[in-house]
Amino acid sequence: MHCVNGKPILAYSIDAFENCKYVKDIIIVTQEDKIEIVSEICKKFRFKKVSHVIKGGATRLESVINGVFAVSKKAPLIAIHDGARPCVDNKIIEDTILKAAMYNAAAPGIAITSTVKRTVDGVIKETVDREGLYEIQTPQIFRAELIKAALVNAKKKAIDITDDCMAAEIIGVNIHIVEGSRKNIKITELKDFEQAESFLSEDNTER
């Protein structure tokens, strides 16, 4: 796994939730061949809140379902976070938890400020009104029974969801936005890793 300052990217993501006073239990969903590696990371960094490291499914939806149904039935809220977002900070996590506790569903987001174009075959067809448009991040947090029902519904109907908010939207749930951060990026390409490395190094220096 990629490391920054000798620490795996995933460990930064776990650490953010480990240090949140509202989080009681952490479940990590990963590929079967990475379960042992992830478990070793949890032991090395002494993450006390990680209770399970479990196998994911064939799709993202199946993996999330595996995770949410492994959560204790006593948990009122479930937070779903991308392990590839290591720069999430405590404020975003806490703000989203508190908003979800108040309104049943919440997610961090940042307003889109760039001009947005709709294209067809590489040709611009129109300019999209960016008023009210947000880039949604994680963690996305929901009342436990609500997100379980939403995900099961999406699976039953074979709906190709791109995030967990979409599953909740489909069953009519209103999801409230909290202010996200431009640092809370998802690592999908090399340039993302380099940017995250810069952010994480900055945070370590500030500490």
Q: What is the pLDDT of residue 88?
A: 96
Cis peptide before 86 (omega within 30 of 0): no
Residue 201 lies in domain:
3-206
CATH number at residue 25: 3.90.550.10
Q: What is the per-residue DSSP string for 10-63?
A: HHHHHHHHHT-TT---EEEEE-GGGHHHHHHHHHHTT-SSEEEEEE--SSHHHH
105, 168 in Cβ contact below 8 A?
yes
* Residue 203 to residue 145: CA distance in whole angstroms: 36
Q: What is the pLDDT of residue 169?
A: 97
Residue 134 CA neighbour count, 13 Å, CB half: 16
Q: Which of 91, 108, 113 is nearest to 177 (CA)?
A: 108
Widest CA span of the chain, in angstroms?
A: 53
Q: What is the pLDDT of residue 151?
A: 98
* Residue 168 to residue 206: CA distance in whole angstroms: 38
Q: Which tokens in the block code for residue 161?
A: 């969801």
Q: What is the mean pLDDT of each run of 10 residues along the chain (207 residues)?
A: 84 96 97 96 97 96 97 97 95 98 98 95 95 96 98 96 96 97 92 88 62
Q: What is the pLDDT of residue 203?
A: 66
**CA end-to-end distance (rounded Å), the chain:** 24
Q: Enter the pTM of the model.
A: 0.92
Number of domains into which the chain is organized: 1
Region of 148 please: left (phi>0), alpha (psi -120 to 50) or beta: alpha
Q: What is the pLDDT of residue 189?
A: 87
* Residue 167 to residue 68: CA distance in whole angstroms: 13
105, 206 in Cβ contact below 8 A?
no
Who's near 111: CB < 8 A, 6+ residues apart?
A: 133, 134
